[in-house]
Amino acid sequence: MTSAPMTASAPRAEFRAAGTDLSERRRSGVSKGPLIDLAAAPDTIGVTWGADGAATIGALTSIAAIGADPRIAAAYPGIAASALGLATPQVRHLATLGGNLAQRSRCWYFRDPHIACLKKGGSDCPARTGNHLYSVAFDLGPCVAPHPSTMAAALLGYDASIATSQRPAISIGELLGDGSNGTSDHALASDEMIRGVRLPAPLPGERALYKRAISRSHAEWPLAEVCARAVVSSGTFQFIRITAGGIAPVPLRLAACEAALQGKPASAAVIAEAARQAGSGANPLPMTGYKLDLLEGIVHDVLERLAM
């Protein structure tokens, strides 16, 4: 599913599955175009498993179903934990995987129907010079809103591929871009739907954890979030993958952290140094430097628990 860009002259039709994000945008007047309701087909709902243990999750599968699936939790614990960590139980019950990947920006300037930001056909990003307290700490393009999808950050860490109605397999990077295009939240065509997500077979002995920092105790969008996978054997990080959301226009792999851990002892000193690398390459805005402190703390905590 996709939410097509809106222009002032001709709003495009938008696909609707559960509509947890779309309904809010229509109530506020941000989205005004016609709707195309989606019905679940057999290949768009539920989880199927390959002989190699790889899973394919239909795009209309609810976030709650993903989080509650014991086989997903065993094979892909980072996916299950990320699903259980987002939104509220009510939203997770309705929201779909495809909808989470294709949802629109949570920036308050985008959500204001009276402001023409880049994502609504405007000429600039008002958050950049305005109130950007919840914006990016890795400034990668003209729009400074962080990407809203928790599941995208988790799926990036698992090298997932996305099947659409027009393309059999694209990467998360191809779906979301590199952050340099400030006019859209994804690279789906206006008539292109996400149909499913394929995950590679899990690695033997791998563990994974998810953690987010939020500004209130419940039901809040992440200021920073991390999904980390690791294989720790003989006291050494044999495999490590760390991805983060809430900090950039797209989910990011924390490559400097990974490099500081790969093949190294799972010791307190190594973990502390890796966590200090979490902000490598960051260029925060005047109001978003605090996100780097949050990110470092989350990475440190997650790595400590993975190393136990």
Separation in Å, CA 304 to CA 228, 270, 278, 284: 11, 10, 14, 26
Decide if 176 is inside a domain: no
Give percent above pLDDT 90 in the chain.
85
Q: At residue 11, does pLDDT exceed 80? A: no
Q: What is the reported pLDDT for 36? A: 87
Average pLDDT, the chain: 94
Decide if 281 is inside a domain: yes
Decide if 93 is inside a domain: no
Q: At residue 1, does pLDDT exceed 80? A: no
Give percent above pLDDT 70 in the chain.
96
Q: What is the reported pLDDT for 10? A: 56
| Amino acid in the structure at residue 149 | S
pTM of the shown model: 0.93
The arithmetic mean of pLDDT across residues 121-139, rounded, is 97
What is the 3-state secondary structure of the chain?
Answer: CCCCCCCCCCCCCEEECCCCCHHHHHHHCCCCCCEEECCCCHHHCCEEECCCCCEEEECCCEHHHHHHCHHHHHHCHHHHHHHHHCCCHHHHHHCEHHHHHHCCCCCCCCCCCCCCCHHHCCCCCHHHHCCCCCCCCCCCCCCCCCCCCHHHHHHHHCCCEEEECCCCCEEHHHHHCCCCCCCCCCCCCCCCCEEEEECCCCCCCCEEEEEEECCCCCCCCCCEEEEEEEEEECCEEEEEEEEEECCCCCCEECHHHHHHHCCCECCHHHHHHHHHCCCCCCCCCCCCCHHHHHHHHHHHHHHHHHCC
How far is residue 254's CA from residue 263's CA, in Å, rounded to a whole number? 16
Are 220 and 110 spatial neighbours (Cβ–Cβ below 8 Å)?
no
Assigned token pair, 186: 């994804």
Decide if 251 is inside a domain: yes
Q: What are phi and psi of 8, to 5 degrees?
A: -65, -30
The arithmetic mean of pLDDT across residues 66-71, rounded, is 98
Q: At residue 243, does pLDDT exceed 80? A: yes
The arithmetic mean of pLDDT across residues 125-148, rounded, is 98
Q: In the block, which residue shows the tokens 């851990």?
A: 261
Number of folded domains that form the chain: 1
Residues 6+ apart with CB under 8 A from 217: none
Decide if 261 is inside a domain: yes
Are 21 and 104 spatial neighbours (Cβ–Cβ below 8 Å)?
yes
Q: What is the reported pLDDT for 40? A: 85
Q: What is the reported pLDDT for 7? A: 41
Assigned token pair, 100: 């989470």
Q: Write out pLDDT tens, residues 189-235.
A: 989 999 999 999 999 999 999 999 998 877 788 999 999 999 999 99
Decide if 125 is inside a domain: no
Decide if 236 is inside a domain: yes
Helix axes 150-157, 77-85, angle to 10 degrees: 170
pLDDT level of residue 8 (50, 70, 90 thresholds): very low
Q: Write out pLDDT tens, residues 176-185.
A: 999 999 999 9
| Among 16, 158, 148, residue whose Cα is nearest residue 80 | 158
Check residue 179 and give left, alpha or beta (phi > 0: left; psi -120 to 50: alpha): left
Decide if 256 is inside a domain: yes
Structural domain of 276: 207-306
pLDDT level of residue 127 (50, 70, 90 thresholds): very high
Q: Write out pLDDT tens, residues 17-60.
A: 888 899 989 989 998 889 989 888 888 999 999 999 999 999 99
Whichever domain contains 269, its CATH number is: 3.30.390.50
Q: At residue 296, does pLDDT exceed 60? A: yes
Q: What is the reported pLDDT for 4? A: 45
Residues 6+ apart with CB under 8 A from 148: 103, 104, 105, 106, 185, 221
pLDDT level of residue 280 (50, 70, 90 thresholds): very high
